[in-house]
Amino acid sequence: MIIAERKPFEEIKNMIAGYKRILVVGCRTCVTICWAGGEKEVGILSSQLRLQSGRNGNELSILEATVERQCEKEMVTQELGDKVQDIEAILSMGCGVGVQTIAEIYEDKPVFPALNTAFVGMPEREGLWIEMCAACGDCFLDRTGGICPVVRCAKGLLNGPCGGTRRGGKCEIDPEKDCAWVLIYRRLEKQGRLDLMRKYYEAKNYRKVKRPGKIEALEA
């Protein structure tokens, strides 16, 4: 799922400076799971903004809301519908897709992102999310025992490790990080499928997904 992180408070504060009536809107899907923009985080950020404006003697009234999925226009209008009328600006705690969806629906309102959308990943354990997929549109996982070299190899190599692998099979750029190709080697060896790693793979086709990506279903 999409993993995001809340922007530094200073940055958010500066974005909404001058506005007196704002809507802070979160999302119940990806950003809830990574503790960045769910209902609770909306509450916390709103509380902080109120405390802060109170200290500065500024006027700030905040309306809080959370959409099931901020990237779906119907869900956004269903949840926010008439709430936006008296609002001067919207602070979205959704991922980049959510922010843009809201900006498109409420075109006359300034919309600000409270989060930095970081990557596609998963929770390795409570409170730790790691990137797993580059959304490259040309999935290679059948050839690497299910370990993605595009993301997990720092250089995105397709034919084996670089010469900079640290002793013990750690990555050149981070002694705490495993070299993806060593992981791939070990997994394929376990499965007796090292022939996959011995094959030569040609240079990646970066046009598999023409950016900005677009996929249209035949049934549409």
Partner 1 sequence: MAKPFRETLKKKDFIVTAEAGPVKGSNVTNMVEHIELLKDKVDGLNVTDNQSAVMRYPSLGTCLLVKEHGGEPILQITCRDRNRLAIQADLLFAYSRGIDNVLCLTGDSVDVGDHKEAKPVFDLDSVQLIHLVHSLNSGKDMVGNELDGGVDYCIGASATPSADPIEPQLIKFDKKLDAGVDFVQTQAVYDLNELKRFMEHTRKMDGKVKVLAGIVLLVGAKMAMWMNDNVPGIFVPQHFIDEMAEAPKGKGVSRGIEIAGRLVRQIKEERICDGVHIMAIGREERVPDILEAAGI
Partner 2 sequence: MSMGTDNKIIAFCCEKSAYLAADRAGRMRLYYPDNVRIIRVPCAGRVDALHMLRAFEKGAAGVLVMGCQEGACQHLTGNLRAKERVRYTASLLEEVGMDGARVKMVNLGPDMAQKFVRVVKDMAEKIKER
| Residue ranges binding partner 1 (CB under 8 A) | 154-169, 172-175, 179, 181-182, 184-185, 189, 194, 197-198, 200, 202-204, 206
Q: Which listed range, 38-46, 157-165, 170-178, 188-196, lies at the site for partner 2 (CB under 8 A)?
A: 38-46
Q: What is the largest CA-CA distance in the chain?
A: 69
Q: Which residues make beta-bridge pairs with 175?
A: none
- The CA dihedral of 65, 71, 77, 81, to the nearest 10 degrees, is 30
Q: For residue 189, give the amino acid letter.
A: E
CB of 56 to partner 2, least distance (A): 9
Number of H helices, E strands in the chain: 8, 9
Does residue 206 belong to the site contacting partner 2 (CB under 8 A)? no
Task: Answer whether 154's CB lies under 8 Å from 134's CB.
Answer: no
Nearer to partner 1, 89 or 158 (CB): 158
CB of 61 to partner 2, least distance (A): 11
Chain-centre distance for alpha carbon 163: 31
- Pick one of 20, 21, 44, 198: the residue that binds partner 2 (CB under 8 A): 44
Nearer to partner 2, 43 or 169 (CB): 43
Provide the 3-class DSSP secondary structure of residue 41. helix
Distance in angstroms (rounded) separating the CA atoms of residues 129 and 145: 21
Task: Answer whether 6's CB lies under 8 Å from 27's CB.
Answer: no
- Select the binding partner of residue 193 from partner 1, partner 2, none (C-beta < 5 to 8 A, by kind): none
Does residue 52 belong to the site contacting partner 2 (CB under 8 A)? yes
* Non-local CB neighbours of 47 within 8 Å, separated by 6+ positions: none
- Select the binding partner of residue 24 from partner 2, partner 1, none (C-beta < 5 to 8 A, by kind): none
- Pick one of 48, 58, 191, 205: the residue that binds partner 2 (CB under 8 A): 48
Task: Answer whether 106's CB lies under 8 Å from 77's CB.
Answer: no
- Select the binding partner of residue 154 from partner 2, partner 1, none (C-beta < 5 to 8 A, by kind): partner 1
- Pick one of 54, 146, 164, 175: the residue that binds partner 2 (CB under 8 A): 54
Residues that bind partner 2 (CB under 8 A): 9-10, 40, 43-44, 47-52, 54-55
